[in-house]
A and B are shown apart, each in its own frame.
Chain A
Amino acid sequence: ILNVEQSPQSLHVQEGDSTNFTCSFPSSNFYALHWYRWETAKSPEALFVMTLNGDEKKKGRISATLNTKEGYSYLYIKGSQPEDSATYLCALGPLIQGAQKLVFGQGTRLTINP
């Protein structure tokens, strides 16, 4: 059974501050690592998919890094804004039976205090 861990479970950050959180996963048989942002009552929004060790991706104020050898990924948010409040999910995407099966972590619930 694949175990994807995210920490912390929840986080309160002051508007304007930068923050980061972690996704840990087993490093064997790695295929892809996905990050999603999920606001309440909306669809989970795909942020990044990373496949190579050392990958860094950036989308506006949000960026992510990947270390497949040690089995972790970091998500960074620079200059947090109230609209960044959401649950951030990472998902490991191993190939099983030729398809990519997403195995999600429990998520980090981020609240930005104005």
Chain B
Amino acid sequence: DTEVTQTPKHLVMGMTNKKSLKCEQHMGHRAMYWYKQKAKKPPELMFVYSYEKLSINESVPSRFSPECPNSSLLNLHLHALQPEDSALYLCASSPGIVRTQYFGPGTRLLVL
């Protein structure tokens, strides 16, 4: 299996909802990442996990809560989001934290 999968593909949520985004890879990669891409902008890094431990948090608001339950799975828990959080959320993984990153297709999130 040589791909990064993300579910769901699309998500619509209200500002009071709690939802989670899921990312999975079975390539044995030990680093996983969350990026956010707003329309017509490049992807921006949110979080880096290395060996299931949070390595970098790019000053992301606490309404976004990452979780890495095991080496293959990365979640992003969402709570009390704002409409401006609507974006494409991309997950990536890499064999190590200084190697090529392989991306999933993203979850397109709309916050109403």
Binding site for B on A (CB under 8 A): 4, 31-32, 34, 36, 41-46, 49, 89, 93, 95-107
Task: Report B4 CB to chain A, min CB distance, Å.
Answer: 7
- Tell me, in angstroms, the Cα distance from A30 to B94 when the chains sit together: 20
Contacts of A103 in B (CB 8 A): 45
Known: A95-B98, A97-B56, A104-B44. 10 other contacts (CB 8 A): A34-B100, A36-B103, A42-B105, A43-B4, A99-B50, A100-B99, A102-B43, A104-B42, A104-B43, A106-B41
Size of chain B's interface in residues, with CB distance under 8 A? 25
- Tell me, in angstroms, the Cα distance from A100 to B94 when the chains sit together: 10
Within 8 A of A (CB), among B31-45: 31, 35, 41-45
Binding site for A on B (CB under 8 A): 3-4, 31, 35, 41-45, 48, 50, 55-56, 90, 94, 97-106
Nearest-CB residue, chain A, relative to B49:
A99
Give the 4 A-B CB pairs with smallest separation, nearest first: A104-B42, A99-B97, A44-B103, A43-B105
| A contact patch SS | loop
- Tell me, in angstroms, the Cα distance from A98 to B31 when the chains sit together: 12
Contacts of B101 in A (CB 8 A): 34, 46, 100, 102
- Tell me, in angstroms, the Cα distance from A95 to B96 when the chains sit together: 12
Q: A44-B90, A96-B56, A106-B41 are in contact. Are A101 and B100 (CB under 8 A)?
A: no
Contacts of B31 in A (CB 8 A): 99
Does B103 contact A98, Cβ atoms closer than 8 Å? no
